[in-house]
Structure 1
Amino acid sequence: MALIDSDKSVGSKPAITSNEAGRVIAVRAAAAAPATLAANDVMRMVKLPAGCIITGGYLASTDLDTAASPTITMTVGLMDIADTTLDANTDLLAESTVGQGGTMAAFSTGLTQGPFTVDKFVAVKVIAAGTTKAAGTVTCQVEYAQP
């Protein structure tokens, strides 16, 4: 299991916040997905600040599985800052096939989770690895607000 950081998740970067209640913030992060991407690998994408509620978002990817019958699937969910896997019952998008053809999909569940008392990561976990793996980019936009 590999832990991959996006351009927005590096530990020294603070979560992006607003001092206006109700103002929706959209943060887009990109992670370099290696050709060795395997099942259970996790990409930490966006740091969700304590006290915020998720209002929307999407997952996009280049073609990470170039097989004629691609198999890669990814789930977007939440995880604690110090963890290496998704928290249970926090899925925002379950077993998405965006990496099979270079597409995107909007979050479909778990919206309005929170507010949480601590910062969390919105992360992407590889559920099923690709058949013919290819390096690429995984992008995740997370929209959240402070109630």
Structure 2
Amino acid sequence: EEMYNAWLADPKSVHVSWDSFFRSSSAGALPGQAYQPPPSLAEPGRNQVPLTSLVPHFGGGVAMGGQINEKVIDDHLAVQAIIRSYQARGHLVAELDPLGITYADLHSKYSDRQGNPHQIVLRQHMLPDEADMDRSFKLPSTTFIGGKEKALPL
């Protein structure tokens, strides 16, 4: 109440967000509708890949009659899941003791003794066709495995 009374006396005496809220409320907006969130400080879409970048374009439109191929999207999501799986489990298959000074069998659950991931870990996210291994897939902006490359083959 004190803030509202201060705003009535001088709108510049309260923070700009409260000024906006009180102005909206005074104009008849309900309290749940009077709030307006501040603009985001993050870049818009930083962790998002636009679908149009995944689908080939012909003549400015989406290929083949304007329909998006769901397989392309599913394959892209599978690649994202593979990348994330390696990010989350990479430390479990890393050679943390190359001299073998201490023995800890960290590899048994997630990899063989050479550090190669078990096929079941890969197949959980793997694409169904071996031909997909030669296709290039667009990388998200939060993945730094490609250096300056925007797309890499599996």
TM-score w.r.t. length of structure 2: 0.20
Higher percent of residues as helix: 2
TM-score by length of 1: 0.21
Higher percent of residues as strand: 1
